Amino acid sequence: MKKITCQELLKDKRMRFAISIINSAYASDSLDKLGIQKPGGDRYYLPMEIHYLAGAETDLQHRVFGAAHTAAFRIVRNPDSPSYQANPYEGEIAFIRTLKPGDVAVIDTPIDDEFPNAEENEKKCGGVWGGLLTALSLSYGAVGAVINGPTRDTHQINSYFRHGSFDARSLRSLEMALGKKASKINIKKIRTALLKAGKFPVYGTGTLPTDSAFRTEAFSVGESIKIGNVIIHDQDFIVADNDGQVVIPNEVVREVLAKVIEIDAGDKDVWADALTRLAGFHHDSIDEIVARHGGHL
């Protein structure tokens, strides 16, 4: 079956509105109400250990929604092989190369695994995401990253979206990259492009200063992965914010987004009655308020 893309959803006014208001709670509630997620059974929310780390300081929700582009990392198998020595980042490069506009990088690492020796237990701590992969992902149109594992370079990632000039060293690097096109106008265009992107929320289990090279390697790109008890297929959708991260199977994304609109309307009705009661405009009980809005709570 053909996968639904972010671009297709954004062409539909109703879906576009749903995307603008969706959050992890709405997504989880929608999956519950549609019978896709079952209390005590199938789950689509990721483990609590994964949380916001960087890249969306101007957004209090730290929210991101997009299509999941998946990768799985493992402990490096053959660090002494000539091919690995020549390019220890081959897997990461293949992953970034296949990102599409609207994608969220969703990566599983061996951080949750227990290995029989101290060497492997150290290697699982490679920071698989950082400032350079964020910049490269932005250039491919990706909108965020959710990592079951450690990340690094949080200050660098946050700096991409701050107003102000580049520092002197960054300016020199940009001028070298631009070559004959180097000018104040073109440097400003680069800053404008970053500010237009606005954010790139990065989620992970925590931060470590370690490099992934000679520790972990990407061995699977665009294949199904499992984080916690949640199976994530490439191009499923994901929403992440301060409350958590929820995976939406690609084949039901339209139904989920439609349900999000319905839930949001119910929320707003109860919210309005609660606040007008607070301000003394009525004294209806919680029972009356909830009953008036079809049992929504």
Residue 89's contacts (CB-CB under 8 Å, 6 or more residues apart) are 212, 213
Instruction: Using the Cα atoms of residue 44, residue 231, residue 100 and residue 250 in order, give the sign of their dihedral.
Output: negative
Q: CA–CA separation, 134 vs 234, rounded Å?
A: 19
The phi and psi torsions of 247 (rounded to 5 degrees) equal: -95, 135
Residue 210 burial (10 A CB sphere; 0-12, 13-18, 19+): middle
**Per the structure block, which two tokens stand in for 54?**
């960087």
22 and 103 in a single domain? The answer is no
Q: What is the pLDDT of residue 38?
A: 87
Residue 98 sits in the same domain as residue 152: yes
DSSP 8-state class, residue 129: B
Q: 128, 134 in Cβ contact below 8 A?
A: no
pLDDT at 140 exceeding the cut of 90: yes
In this prediction, residue 39 carries a pLDDT of: 87
At 225 the pLDDT is 99
What pLDDT does residue 297 have?
83
Query: Does the pLDDT value for residue 295 go beyond 90?
Result: no
Q: How confident is the model at residue 296, as a pLDDT?
A: 78
Q: Tell me the residue length of the chain.
A: 297
- What is the pTM assigned to this prediction? 0.96
pLDDT at 289 over 90: yes
Residue type, 168: A
Cα separation, 57 vs 198, whole angstroms: 10
- Average pLDDT over the chain, rounded to an integer: 97
Does one domain contain both 105 and 235? yes
Residue 92 has pLDDT above 90, yes or no: yes
Together in a domain, 151 and 10: no
- In this predicted structure, the answer to whether residue 86 has a pLDDT above a threshold of 90 is yes
Smallest CA-to-CA distance from 73 within 104, 109, 99, 98 is with 109
Encoded tokens for 96: 């970034």
Q: Is residue 177 situated within a structural domain?
A: no
Looking at the domain assignment, is residue 30 inside a domain?
Answer: yes
Asked if residue 224 and residue 80 are part of one domain, the reply reads yes
Assigned domain for 128 exists: yes
Indicate if the alpha-carbon torsion angle 256, 257, 258, 261 is positive or negative. Answer: positive
Which domain range does residue 79 map to? 45-161+198-248
**Whether 124 and 27 share a structural domain:** no
Q: Could you tell me if 3 and 75 lie in one domain?
A: no
Banded pLDDT at 121 (limits 50, 70, 90): very high
Q: How far apart are CA 69 and CA 60, in angstroms?
A: 25
Q: Convert the pLDDT of each residue in 31-74 to its tens digit.
A: 999 999 988 889 999 999 999 999 999 999 999 999 999 999 99
Q: How far apart are CA 109 and CA 87, in angstroms?
A: 19
Instruction: Mark whether 144 and 215 lie in a shared domain.
Output: yes
Determine phi and psi for 202, rounding to 5 degrees. -115, 125
Instruction: Please name the residues in contact with 179: beta carbons below 8 A apart, sequence gap of 6 or more.
Output: none
Residue whose C-alpha is closest to residue 275's, from 291, 261, 289 = 289
Number of structural domains the chain divides into: 2
Give me the CATH number covering residue 128. Answer: 3.50.30.40
> Are residues 273 and 241 both part of a single domain?
no
Q: What is the pLDDT of residues 222-279, one digit of tens each?
A: 999 999 999 999 999 999 999 999 999 999 999 999 999 999 999 999 999 999 999 9
Residue labelled with tokens 């020199």: 172
